[in-house]
Structure 1
């Protein structure tokens, strides 16, 4: 109680003794040692409303939307608190680079992207910090979850056989998902799930229903998981999607989390005939409290000067200095790979290089790099490619499942108190 009162009290500005306190902001939710502010809830609600307006999508009631947004912010707060405990910090340089890449992919500058956001009623400063949080959360998830993903050789072999049997031709399903939470009352959840099924079968819009009723991770996106090959879907989806057609509504399907309802928005064929691959090598320096951003960049510039002057060997420098342990032992070599497997900054830099050309130092989400393009090739889908593809499909499926499980575990063990709006004004 003392901590809560202290946190809430910090949000009131001291005024003259004769004047009433002026509220600068209000606490919406207490989450462990952190808080979610009313302004954060309002900004996120506004963002969802603007997106819905642009897409012509109906939203649920203000109360239901607010509940969905607060739950999302609670999960984000728990992950950001973990990042703080781990000492993860996304620098302004890294954030600016990400925003430049995002704007470039839309064919505009950062200034133009800012103008577009503000013209739609958005707050660019809040958007910028939201992107910083997304990068931070992504890094926390990779660190905490990837060690939980276990893939056996037998699983890879089984999927490779399936890929070979399909001739690398299959279908991608545009999946919609609604989760009716059954953690507190399973019988009541089943009743709600049956009611949702009746509504959907009577013609209710799936996305609108997901926004109003779903507790799933994509609820604020209308339950939209995008296009997925059946081999990369969560196991629960894959088990029932094989024979599904456009518009089918499937469920309710019981799991430990509650009851799931799925739909197929669309399907499309997938054909893989040739693979454009690149071979490259790089040196990665990861900034730290000891190695600043500028120092990392300067070191790489000096490495490049020495290599081009034939005063140093790139492979030896990579072995001695690179912070990418997997490639450092190979002299920085990454081997043949589809460039799309790399983060956008790394992929785009490689695509701009000629064979044997070195890049200037550049920043990605992993740190500072210099990279050399060694060769390009276009090849048929080989057995090696099939194995890599099978591993990536299995990894994405299991990683998604483990992220959800990890978030549920954090949420279940957290102290969360929603401060009712009609009570906030009277708190001290």
Structure 2
């Protein structure tokens, strides 16, 4: 039985899964297994050959049945049945590890007397040319601390319900405590939850949906302050698609295992737009499942919806009108001032509009498009940023 099982769900991203597997193949800690669950529609984008080319007995490749269509959450769930490790966690196919990440994780858990769960964050590897086949990019690496801290699971549930910082309790969009993404959980606890509730990933989002359910089942939890993963932001991200397109959001909800019906639990019931509202639906549903009365902070969720709604594009005007009416009517029914929410939003955006942002905007108006990626990388550069020709070069961090 390996100590860690790392499940990597993927679909049609063979070049990215190669980077993820390269980082896992070169781990300094060896007692682990990797389950790659490849939910491809077209065999031409299968990553089976890539997995097999590593000739690593710790790598397990599985392809879910074509029928029924699993969707994102279903693919995450499918991989669980193949995991045999003492601790089970997930990594996205657009992520990779540093060579010493699992060693750092193991040592932190050992010093914490093997908690029920451990979570951590991730650094970012920004591609300079997002529209090309090049993986040249900039690694934004957080300073190493070699420390961890204990977290109280119940307090973490309260933070998530509060929505004080939008969807995220951690900088950079990291789901944080309780999430199976950038986290590992004892196998027996995970399977007890699965046997009790039928599925771990019966949610809209596999990373943001389950944390409250998981946090309710654990007693000991640590958060490792060093980032053990690296995320490569991509334009074909499912999360990005359904954040900016009404049609994509509707399709995503319909294909999710919980279905559109889950939206009846949302802070604004039936509202199709914004990840904020979808996550509130998942959280409120879980609290009801646990027979607990508390729900998401309505005011903060509404503010998050108002902020996120600006990003959504509508294919048809009547959809925009319907969503606007639904949001407005909810505020009227709940005696909440929608205009005050817009004022709060304006104040937040004004605070974020720094001189550096203004200068970048002015520069990009004058810089030819083909030179903008290089200029952007230079402007965003920090002292601890490093340039690499490929993410593989950054696996062995300095």
TM-score category (smaller protein) = under 0.3
Q: Which structure shows the higher strand fraction?
A: 1
Q: Which has the larger radius of gyration?
A: 1
TM-score by length of 2: 0.25
Q: Which structure shows the higher helix fraction?
A: 1
